[in-house]
């Protein structure tokens, strides 16, 4: 129902992002999608990748502040308006989205997001016939 996402604490200082990317490169980890937000002093770099558990261990071993978390991933047809419909379902159920990012994969639009209520989100996705993406689906690529 959910997939693993790496969250990395990134200080706003040149070189910090490169260090994380290099560690992932050395561990032969493939990044499928990622998102970074900027605030005044630090950011959280969120990554969907191949072998997230291994990536987590490698980063942690190198002393990087990293967390492994569960996020929702759903697949939408690559047509205008599909994201609006999906988010509307959540919104109508009173669910708030904490953050979201999207990418194209295998000709489909993938929506990655976290909400304030995981159980309810699961229910809404299932009831509205939205399709979950699994890590196995994404591994086709790598």
Partner 1 sequence: MSYSPYFNPEYETMSRPELEALQLQRLRQTVRHCMNSPFYQQKFKQLGITPDDIKSLDDVSRLPFTSKEDLRENYPYGLACVPLKDCVRLHSSSGTTGNPTVVLHTQKDLDEWANAVARCLWMVGSRPEDVFQNSAGYGMFTAGLGFQYGAEKVGMLTVPAAAGNTLRQIKFIKDFGTTVLHAIPSYASRIYEVMKEEGVDPRRDTKLRVLCIGAEPHSEEQRRRIEEYLGVKAYNSYGISEMMGPGVAFECPEQNGIHIWEDYFIVEIIDPVTLQPVPEGELGELVITTINREAMPLLRYRTRDLTRFLPGDCPCGRTHRRLARLQGRSDDMIILKGVNIFPIQVEKILLKFKEVSTDYLITLETRDGNDTMTVDVELSQLFTDDYGRLQSLEKEITRQLKDEILVTPKVRLLSKGSLKVSDEKKAVRVKDLRKLF
- Contacts with partner 1 by CB under 8 A lie at 5, 7-11, 13, 16, 37, 39, 41-42, 44, 46, 60-67, 69, 98, 114
Of residues 35 and 107, the one with the C-beta less far from partner 1: 35
Decide: 2 and 73 in contact? Cβ < 8 Å.
yes
Of residues 41 and 80, the one with the C-beta less far from partner 1: 41
In degrees and rounded to multiples of 5, residue 78 shows phi and psi of: -80, 70
Shortest distance, position 71 Cβ to partner 1, whole Å: 8
Shortest distance, position 72 Cβ to partner 1, whole Å: 13
Of residues 39 and 79, the one with the C-beta less far from partner 1: 39
Pull the structure tokens for residue 50.
């191949």
Rounded Cα distance, 38 and 141, in Å: 29
Tokens 């979201």 locate to 100
Rounded Cα distance, 95 and 107, in Å: 28
Shortest distance, position 1 Cβ to partner 1, whole Å: 17
């Amino acid at each position: 129902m959910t997939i693993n996402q790496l969250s990395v604490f990134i200080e706003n200082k040149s070189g910090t992002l490169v260090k994380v990317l290099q560690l992932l490169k050395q561990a032969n980890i493939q990044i499928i999608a990622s998102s970074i937000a900027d605030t005044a002093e630090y950011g959280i770099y969120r990554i969907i990748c191949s072998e997230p558990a291994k990536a987590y261990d490698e980063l942690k071993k190198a002393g990087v502040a990293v967390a492994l978390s569960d996020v929702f991933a759903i697949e939408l047809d690559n047509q205008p308006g599909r994201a609006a419909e999906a988010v509307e379902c959540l919104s109508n159920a009173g669910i708030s989205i904490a953050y979201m990012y999207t990418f194209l994969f295998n000709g489909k639009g993938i929506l990655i997001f976290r909400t304030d209520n995981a159980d309810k989100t699961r229910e809404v996705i299932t009831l509205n016939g939205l399709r979950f993406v699994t890590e196995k689906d994404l591994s086709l690529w790598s």
